[in-house]
């Protein structure tokens, strides 16, 4: 089945959840700002992620690498993702109100949903992307949780402290490191005829993501429920 509708549905359900939790005021300016921040952060992130890999001469064939090398690459990819994405959000939301950060975080998250959906669709090279129904459900759950995570961390970062920034980067790095490990090891398992391992790693990744998202929501939920109309304007 085509995963694209599931990815979009995951984002929509997360937005609905936030609405029911009290996040009913989305500011257009701040939302657009968040949507712009994502592609900027992901572009720089991808460049930095690739630099050491090119320097050491790692070939595109990941299946030729050992498990320890894949783990090291996964940690690097996750750490850089956490640093760039959370640092960009931090720069724009520190010292701001919960309502401001809510809209920026939501714009950031929805921009990512659209980006990944487009990426999946284009990767089919003119055809229709397809994956098992169970995998599509996990993809839906992943997008749902990631949207909640981005909004929650954006609100947490309004505190403007380095301690919170480091904590958020650490949580993000753990999630993305596991996601990177899943993606890299999937190619290995396909080559070695151990496809049965792929859904196990994906499920473990989803469980860790869910636990971390719950932690973030607990920390930010009081502020989400207090999101109201504010006079604060976005500063471009």
Is 198 exposed, middle or buried, given 0-12, 13-18 or 19+ CB atoms closer than 10 A? middle
SS3 content of the chain, % helix, strand, coil (to 5): 80, 0, 20
Q: Where are the domains of the chain?
A: 4-224
Say which residue, 127 or 93, is predicted with more confidence: 93
Confidence of residue 221 (pLDDT cuts 50, 70, 90): confident
Is 114 exposed, middle or buried, given 0-12, 13-18 or 19+ CB atoms closer than 10 A? middle
Q: What pLDDT, on the 0 to 100 scale, is given for residue 76?
A: 95
pLDDT above 70 covers a percentage of the chain that reads 89
pLDDT, tens digit (0-9, with 9 covering 90-100), for 79-125: 999 999 999 999 999 999 999 999 999 999 999 999 999 998 887 76
pLDDT, tens digit (0-9, with 9 covering 90-100), for 158-205: 988 999 999 999 999 999 999 999 988 888 888 888 888 888 898 899
């Amino acid at each position: 089945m085509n995963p694209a509708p599931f990815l979009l549905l995951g984002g929509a359900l997360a937005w609905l959840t936030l609405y029911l939790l009290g996040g009913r005021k989305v500011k257009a300016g701040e939302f657009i700002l968040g949507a712009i921040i994502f592609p900027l952060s992901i572009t720089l992130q991808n460049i930095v992620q690739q630099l050491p890999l090119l320097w050491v001469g790692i070939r595109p064939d990941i299946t030729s690498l050992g498990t320890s090398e894949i783990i090291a690459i996964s940690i690097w990819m996750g750490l850089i993702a956490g640093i760039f994405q959370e640092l960009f959000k931090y720069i724009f939301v520190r010292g701001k109100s919960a309502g401001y950060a809510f809209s920026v975080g939501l714009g950031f998250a929805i921009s990512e949903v659209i980006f990944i959906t487009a990426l999946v669709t284009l990767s089919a090279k003119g055809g229709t992307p397809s994956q098992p129904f169970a995998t599509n459900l996990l993809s839906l759950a992943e997008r749902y949780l990631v949207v909640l995570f981005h909004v929650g961390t954006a609100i947490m970062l309004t505190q403007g402290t380095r301690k919170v920034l480091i904590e958020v980067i650490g949580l993000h790095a753990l999630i993305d490191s596991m996601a990177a490990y899943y993606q890299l090891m999937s190619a290995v398992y396909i080559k070695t005829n151990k496809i049965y391992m792929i859904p196990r790693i994906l499920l473990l990744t989803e469980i860790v993501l869910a636990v971390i998202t719950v932690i973030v929501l607990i920390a930010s939920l009081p502020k989400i429920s207090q999101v109201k109309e504010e006079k604060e304007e976005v500063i471009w």
